[in-house]
Amino acid sequence: MNYQVLARKWRPHNFTEVVGQEHVVKSLTNALQHNRLHHAYLFTGTRGVGKTTIARILAKAINCENLQEFNPCGVCRVCRDLDEGRFLDLIEVDAASRTKVEDTRDLLDNAQYAPNQGRYKVYLIDEVHMLSGHSFNALLKTLEEPPPHVKFLLATTDPHKIPVTVLSRCLQFNLKRLLPGQIFTQMSFILQQEQIESEPAALKSLSRAADGSMRDGLSLLDQAIVFGNGKVTAQDVNAMLGTVAQQPVEDILTALANGDASAILDKISETADLIPDFSDVLQQILKVLHRIALVQQIPTAIDHDFDGDMIASLASLFTPEDVQLYYQIGLVGQKDLDLAPDPRSGFEMLMLRMLTFRPLAIQAAPIKPAQVRQIGIQSEALSVNRSAVTIQQPAHEAETSAPESVAAKSDNNWIDMIAAMRINGLTRELAHNCVLESIDDSVCTLILDPGHKQLRSTRTEENLQKALQAYRGKPVKLVINTKTITSDTPAVQLIKEREDKQQAAVDAIHADSNVQALKEHFDARIMPGTIEPV
């Protein structure tokens, strides 16, 4: 028996079966419902998203003898003939193989004659952008004023190569690339109907590799079924695709969040034994970091994420600042993989660079500025040191400059409590943007400004309540009210504290006698942005 590939066997036969192109299906069914059919349609989009399929369904629908809710019935004579390729009034042409003007003229010579079987004679021209300029000119007049019984359905992957004169005569529909989730759902349905065992992780890998094309995805699925001897497993799919699985990427990012260089290098070693394509590993890390950044800014975005559980777990381990830094280092470091002695060493240096330049965590608890000392500049050093000098302020001045709001501690000081609870990620951001209204052994009431209500989610509130209960040692219930806050939140206090420290450091530099001597004798100047508190 001849085997039929999945992409052909499961090609949609009506509008209901089309996946992911609702905007096109809705327009076409409404046109059928109100009998407002255009004489020329142009379907554009990347390969494998359904251009030719939708064109065939439309050709079937406008000739069907018994439409079912504006879907072709599939059982009438026209539908059966069209499905079997015996419908004479559907003239399907591959423009890539018939580019000459003579071919186009021969094609249009019969347009004036009435259809043989159906109501309309349909010309379906695939990859229409491949026609020559003379062929387009020959098509123009018929395309503008076709006989009433003729419909043109054009499909192309490159609409920019089609003359504007042709585009203006067509009703154009742009088909979207399919999301991995849509391809995953269709694959799961097909395998269930085919009674083939599969693992969700394997189908997710295939859905990503399809790159928005349903046909490519089903072709890969066919290949995976053969490769796995009738089963679709994650191990077989990763070996077939030559890509690294999602789990090593998650493990590497978890180790990065924990600052564990040894775990990162161990996982890189394991990955090198399996798939030595570190460029692909880096691409996946960048994709995951991108989705983490989205979820941290818009928590509701996780509801539509393809790997929601993994993204939620990692988002709680990283601060937004870390994610942005790691993404930029990874993005810039892509070119270094080709310049490195070998891809593995380049990737290891990239990950170690992320660890090395990792920002210091901001401590929420009040910290006294470190005791500082004046830097003695010897007279012989004056002749060579012409750069800006960072000077720390004296200890007694630092102590007096600490804000009273931070220096004062009490059992119910919300900043102290946040530091003691050791929370991180979105949970810490939520706590930092709240003020403590009241707390006792049963209820803790916080106030959240409406401008930061996007930080609230079931996960962050549960994490904060658990941390509170562990800190108080009692089953404290957390209540968060959203209303305007008049006092400073811990986040605002930390910003003010950093600004005060920065200003104190700047003042100390400008007042330092050694710096003034450098300015006077060597015409030195302090570079803006080079002064930092220590």
Is the model's pLDDT at 1 over the cut of 60? Answer: no
**Dist CA 122 CA 115 (whole Å):** 9
Q: Identify the residue whose tokens are 């910003």.
A: 495
Confidence at residue 138, expressed as pLDDT on a 0 to 100 scale: 84
List the domains of the chain with CATH numbers.
6-174 (3.40.50.300), 180-241 (1.10.8.60), 246-356 (1.20.272.10), 364-372+389-534 (3.30.300.150)
Confidence at residue 388, expressed as pLDDT on a 0 to 100 scale: 38
Q: What is the pLDDT of residues 33-47, one digit of tens each?
A: 888 899 999 999 988
Confidence at residue 275, expressed as pLDDT on a 0 to 100 scale: 63
- Percent of the chain residues topping a pLDDT of 70: 87
Compute the average pLDDT of residues 292-310: 75
Q: What is the pLDDT of residues 171-186, one digit of tens each?
A: 999 999 888 889 999 9
3-state secondary structure of 497: helix
Q: Are 307 and 246 in contact (CB under 8 A)?
A: yes
Side chain identity at 70, as an amino acid letter? F
- The model's pTM is 0.58
**Dist CA 330 CA 255 (whole Å):** 16
- Please provide residue 447's backbone torsions phi and psi, each rounded to the nearest 5 degrees: -115, 125
Q: What is the pLDDT of residues 391-450, one digit of tens each?
A: 344 443 433 333 333 333 345 688 888 888 888 888 888 898 899 988 888 899 999 888
Largest CA distance in the chain: 104
Confidence at residue 373, expressed as pLDDT on a 0 to 100 scale: 36
Q: Are 325 and 358 in contact (CB under 8 A)?
A: yes
Q: What is the pLDDT of residues 243-290, one digit of tens each?
A: 655 567 888 898 898 888 888 898 888 877 766 678 888 888 998 899
- Percent of the chain residues topping a pLDDT of 90: 19
Nearby residues of 332 by Cβ (< 8 Å), 6 or more positions away: none
Confidence at residue 340, expressed as pLDDT on a 0 to 100 scale: 87
Confidence at residue 393, expressed as pLDDT on a 0 to 100 scale: 41
Query: Would you place residue 361 in the very low, low, confident or very high pLDDT band (cuts 50, 70, 90)?
Result: low
3-state secondary structure of 123: strand
Q: Are 92 and 126 in contact (CB under 8 A)?
A: yes
**Weakest-pLDDT range from 98-112, 310-324, 372-386, 506-520:** 372-386
**Dist CA 274 CA 317 (whole Å):** 27
Q: What is the mean pLDDT of the chain?
A: 81
Confidence at residue 302, expressed as pLDDT on a 0 to 100 scale: 67
Is the model's pLDDT at 2 over the cut of 80? Answer: no
Q: What is the pLDDT of residues 69-116, one digit of tens each?
A: 788 888 888 888 888 888 888 888 888 777 777 778 877 888 888 888
Is the model's pLDDT at 121 over the cut of 70? Answer: yes
Compute the average pLDDT of residues 123-144: 87
Burial class (CB in 10 A: 0-12, 13-18, 19+), 306: middle
Q: Identify the residue whose tokens are 């009431």.
A: 445
Is the model's pLDDT at 189 over the cut of 90? Answer: yes
Question: 232: which DSSP letter?
Answer: E
Confidence at residue 509, expressed as pLDDT on a 0 to 100 scale: 85
